[in-house]
Structure 1
């Protein structure tokens, strides 16, 4: 079984590769004034201006012309949205929308923002940093999507929609060179096997880049010292069958092999246990672990679309995904084994969805049945050799935690819109979900250095007998939950080009067991988000598009680790996962497009949010829990996000030139939830690009510069220290006995040149 990290990357790569288009220039030439943007936010094709949902859609033309390479850049187009590469790997996604997400990517935890590729749910954040490779569009749905999309969309959803093949014989090739030794090659082709009925698509991508920095020291010889590098290959096969205009079948297979190094963090404080000063570069690090990292993913999906008649449409989506990822995370980032965490993530999932849609004059409805089953397993070794030597006099000390969180989920949903009058419509929906989850956790101390597998480091042999004797099963339990999630809204079509709407929606994140449990404990119940929203969508004289939203949400039963005394020994404090927190948020979002002329378009968006914890209970004294909400921060959520950009077309005898640029701003935000020690100051990114399209439609060339002012900004962290109350400005060492305050950073200034040819 090998699949879950970067599975999505493979899917996106493949999708791109299966239909690499040269239609960008035709689409751009055809777009005079405001273009009609179609989305599937409500699981049926609609104009974005007709959908009473706060949704941003970024199409293939815009993605290509801006040189957007990964999903994290899409956050610049969507207000109140955070999409970042997570901490110790290049492929794990940290996603927050309107202050709601999930920071810890450990197996067993559920995400707060759902990731979908062609309506297929990607269950884990590992592998969700998708490379944008000519998908048809990316949609960002803000706010709970619990009725149509189900659990784990309490913040919203990010949807990738890939392209359907044209049916012609095609071959496309793209090559990119750029900063830090970037060398990318992508090609795709399609071949009709039965004219106008059966088509075969193939694709391949090879994406390479040197590191932004390096590992300055390593306790192991012969290790690749590149840090923040990229080494990825992806393959895809697609069969599309359309025997009639009413029936469409697509079979996809994709595989990704990612050999990019594990990502080392930047020490924000010098080590007190070894010679590891703060490095000069934010992208340099130290490590005592191997630097290799491996992600293998495979996926198979079958989609059937059947237009039964003018009123009814049926859709079936069947998908299986598998992923396997051994990774090395050096929490302390030193050459000593102070706090090393080699780990393995091992996942597989199967989903089946049936949709039945109905539409007639005055009424339309989306309904469906959904089944999901997944095994999410993993293990990590917390190697604390220095602590073992000092406290126990042993040659090493390792805490091993391993286990599985296996779940099944079934759901039924329906959402309909009824026209009360020519202008006023009512939308109502309801989803019933039944979740079952079974978890096992093994947790114990081994008084030696332990790695997940033999050969993890040269010469290491894993002693299973010793480990099994030291690492007992501490949790073996199951639980189930059921939930009804409603949606209710009113839409008022003031004029043909202006709509007002108001809605209430609810979403929930699944209950879960503590994957780090040290003993028996009950599962945490689901998190609940209630959201209220009012909005306006408007077009003015086919030149100005102005969409605005006001929202308020109540996030209850947040799942957090709390400290609880052992009932048999008051001197022992246990960490338990429970529903101990609640938060609220209110804010506004504006999205603006101005077609200043046939050649010049201006884009802007603005997001504002005020998000705070209202209650977090501490159970140090179980009889009198206290509220410590003032110690908690809503992380990865700037108060203000904003972007201003332009797109200008220059027609010439040599072909069309398209110049674009944007400035993206994020105000200050915190990165540590409890007793925040790390905040990122406000910053802005400047991006510029120029694209050329040949008149014959064969050649494309793009030159792009990203982060031109070379801003340094934090996107992740590890914080294992505490402020010293007796000595202001000083810190108390945390787990591992060192000053472990580690930062991970976004990409530095880069330039790239892409040349494409379509045969």
Structure 2
């Protein structure tokens, strides 16, 4: 009852505030400040539908953050989106500084293992970033970041079942310029950013950016003496733009990320049963596996645009990406080789997209073809000291994806528009998977260990499948006034099927059959626009999603190691509301607010329980011989999906000492959430609040700027991930991974 009351109040406030002022807006004369444009929120243009539109006109729930906004938030990387965007989780994966885990409206993918598909698509300048390794993008050389909530199966295709994140970099233009920014902060943070661009002549411009991020660890590895939770990242971007005339444009872009930060081994949440190892500070470890970690990703893309007429533009996006990861995770957090996992990942992809964009006063739309050829492979050892074995899991998944799509809007009247879109996708996948047991609790030959014969073949198979899906979208929007737009929409999302790379065919023979795609049907109603002579811009949405054939990963401890399965175990219903607003109260004061609520509940969650085991739904009963599939929906919940999320900030601007001073305090809230589908009190995170404060000063003319930032000022300790192997076989190994502590930094930036 309390939750429903909050939901009703939130939705009612958003809708009634707009509705009661709609008539007044048309009648009220603009004030002097509003007429001059000095007191009004900025209007941001986005490309959520692959064509330029203002936020108000897009019938999609979109959050957009300009470079200036991201700077005010002291956004170091895209994980800041978790603080500022409703119903979203964007965080660093367990064990790494640069592997991405993302969820939108309860849908995503927690496991970054090769072969598993993400549920949220990440795009850099419309190029799909295929794998999560190296995808925690640092914020530099950025024009804006867009977050599209809800399935984007029509325009963006497979694996955008939860939504999409678009990272849009700066274009070079035809004027020379650049900047240098240096930052020093807590834990010896030392960052350097250099950007520059210049016209060469004949319509050709070149530019580049280099970023270096270094920081000591928040903690230490007490066994090796190495830094723990440190940062050592270099990133490069180079581009060339050629515009010989107003009708032609080409852009060649290259990017590379090198992350040599030490591995994050996690924090032991329980004392060890053997060796007397205790619970340490949240950022310390006693891991003995080592401190070598390396992630390298790079991509090359060529974008071409041809304006065939006033109404028609053709566009081509050609891209290739590849990555290599060498990483370690010591899951037991002790010098003992109880549960050590060295791993290697490799991936590469090629994609080609062709678009035709049409726009006149009546019809606007995009038509396109898409092709991707990708390979993802890897191998990891599970060194199980108490079992005296090393388990090598490895394989490769190759994917060829084809799609044809369109999205067209038609103006039936000056205020009423209908949009229709659809995408037909065909994924052909081939997989090779193996799981070998080696005698001896040391690295297997795949990870550079002593060559020795295989003790037991648990899995070794090849398979291939073709998955096809049709994902339509339909929306209708109506402008209540020149400043208010309301819409309703239906969309379908799809995530491809595959095979469990950890599957043990000896324990679970069905693993060789793989798992099917999952789909979601989403319904949304929204209202967005401007109020009070554009002093306030806002967007609100209410959504309902029916999620089917959910791919659920389950790992359980068994006498021979760890048994993994990926099953289409779930079907669920998700609904909620979101509200975002920007306000300009005066020439000196502005503010933002964002609130999200989501109710995510399984309708069914099928789990096989072996014969003789207690029935998890009714422990007084015993499962009959042969086993039984049990619906445990009432016992399970959604991971990485807080019921409530919220954010509020204020920015004061004024002239101080001959320059402009900006001060921005920001508060963000995340409700409690589970790390996995099954509740785990030792790992699940309680609700927490983060408080940040940034300030900057720039003299008149703005050639240089001085900035300071304080993040997590109340020094909250909060988990962003964890693993549960709390049994004697693995020395009571329950470990958590934590977000950053309180930090301070100061920057100076010089433009030229």
Q: Give the TM-score normalised by structure 1.
A: 0.88
Match of 1:146 among 148, 153, 159: 153
- Checking the alignment, whether the CA contact within 8 Å between 1:664 and 1:684 is kept in structure 2 is yes
Distance in 2, matches of 1:452 and 1:169, equals: 54
Quote the residue 1:103 is aligned against: 110
Match of 1:741 among 734, 746, 749: 734
Tell me which moved more, 469-478 or 150-159. 469-478
2:135 paired with 1:128: yes
Which residues in structure 2 correspond to 1:634-673 (within 5 Å)?
Answer: 634-652=638-656, 654-673=658-677
Quote the residue 2:324 is aligned against: 324
Pair 482,493 (structure 1): closer, same or farther in 2 beyond 3 Å: same
Quote the residue 2:591 is aligned against: 602
Distance in 2, matches of 1:171 and 1:562, equals: 50
Distance in 2, matches of 1:700 and 1:190, equals: 20
SS in 2 for 1:386: coil
SS in 1 for 2:79: helix
Deviations 1:63-92 (A, max 9, x none): 112221110112222101111111111111
Distance in 1, matches of 2:658 and 2:734, equals: 54
Which residues in structure 2 correspond to 1:371-390 (within 5 Å)?
Answer: 371-388=371-388
Distance in 1, matches of 2:146 and 2:253, equals: 21
Quote the residue 1:270 is aligned against: 271
Quote the residue 2:101 is aligned against: 94
- Checking the alignment, whether the CA contact within 8 Å between 2:98 and 2:259 is kept in structure 1 is no
Match of 2:51 among 44, 47, 69: 44
SS in 1 for 2:502: coil
- Checking the alignment, whether the CA contact within 8 Å between 1:485 and 1:507 is kept in structure 2 is yes
Distance in 2, matches of 1:643 and 1:255, equals: 32
Pair 563,590 (structure 1): closer, same or farther in 2 beyond 3 Å: closer
Distance in 1, matches of 2:554 and 2:171, equals: 49
Distance in 2, matches of 1:186 and 1:563, equals: 42
Match of 1:525 among 504, 508, 516: 516
Post-superposition offset of 1:290: 1.1
Which residues in structure 2 correspond to 1:496-507 (within 5 Å)?
Answer: 496-507=482-493
Quote the residue 1:200 is aligned against: 206
SS in 2 for 1:217: coil
Structure 2: which 5+ residue stretches go unaligned? 1-35, 611-625
- Checking the alignment, whether the CA contact within 8 Å between 2:706 and 2:746 is kept in structure 1 is yes
Distance in 2, matches of 1:103 and 1:672, equals: 9
Distance in 1, matches of 2:299 and 2:630, equals: 47
Post-superposition offset of 1:403: 0.4
Which residues in structure 2 correspond to 1:399-438 (within 5 Å)?
Answer: 399-438=391-430
Quote the residue 1:695 is aligned against: 700
Post-superposition offset of 1:134: 3.5
- Checking the alignment, whether the CA contact within 8 Å between 2:133 and 2:323 is kept in structure 1 is no
Pair 737,264 (structure 1): closer, same or farther in 2 beyond 3 Å: closer
SS in 2 for 1:517: coil
Q: CA RMSD in A?
A: 2.1
2:715 paired with 1:710: yes
Deviations 1:155-211 (A, max 9, x none): 11111001101322324211000000001111122232215x101112222210000
Post-superposition offset of 1:461: 4.8
Quote the residue 1:478 is aligned against: 464
Which residues in structure 2 correspond to 1:714-725 (within 5 Å)?
Answer: 714-721=719-726
Distance in 2, matches of 1:476 and 1:31, equals: 65
Quote the residue 1:310 is aligned against: 310
Deviations 1:307-360 (A, max 9, x none): 211111111111111100110011111110000000001111111111111111
- Checking the alignment, whether the CA contact within 8 Å between 1:605 and 1:644 is kept in structure 2 is yes
Which residues in structure 2 correspond to 1:192-591 (within 5 Å)?
Answer: 192-195=199-202, 197-218=203-224, 225-279=226-280, 281-388=281-388, 397-451=389-443, 461-463=449-451, 466-467=453-454, 470-471=456-457, 474-519=460-505, 521-540=512-531, 541-561=533-553, 575-591=564-580
Pair 151,630 (structure 1): closer, same or farther in 2 beyond 3 Å: same
Q: Give the TM-score normalised by structure 2.
A: 0.89
- Checking the alignment, whether the CA contact within 8 Å between 1:381 and 1:450 is kept in structure 2 is no
Distance in 1, matches of 2:489 and 2:178, equals: 46
Distance in 2, matches of 1:492 and 1:342, equals: 55
Distance in 1, matches of 2:442 and 2:304, equals: 48
Distance in 2, matches of 1:128 and 1:450, equals: 31
- Checking the alignment, whether the CA contact within 8 Å between 2:363 and 2:408 is kept in structure 1 is yes
SS in 2 for 1:427: strand
SS in 2 for 1:679: coil
Distance in 1, matches of 2:706 and 2:676, equals: 42
Distance in 2, matches of 1:259 and 1:572, equals: 31
Distance in 2, matches of 1:306 and 1:31, equals: 37
Pair 695,30 (structure 1): closer, same or farther in 2 beyond 3 Å: farther
Pair 720,370 (structure 1): closer, same or farther in 2 beyond 3 Å: same
SS in 2 for 1:716: strand
Post-superposition offset of 1:518: 2.1
- Checking the alignment, whether the CA contact within 8 Å between 2:141 and 2:195 is kept in structure 1 is no
Pair 334,30 (structure 1): closer, same or farther in 2 beyond 3 Å: farther
Distance in 2, matches of 1:157 and 1:324, equals: 24
Give 4+ residue runs of structure 1 displaced > 3 Å after superposition.
29-32, 469-473, 561-564, 571-576, 620-624
Pair 36,307 (structure 1): closer, same or farther in 2 beyond 3 Å: same
Post-superposition offset of 1:578: 2.4
Post-superposition offset of 1:573: 11
Alignment length (residue pairs): 693
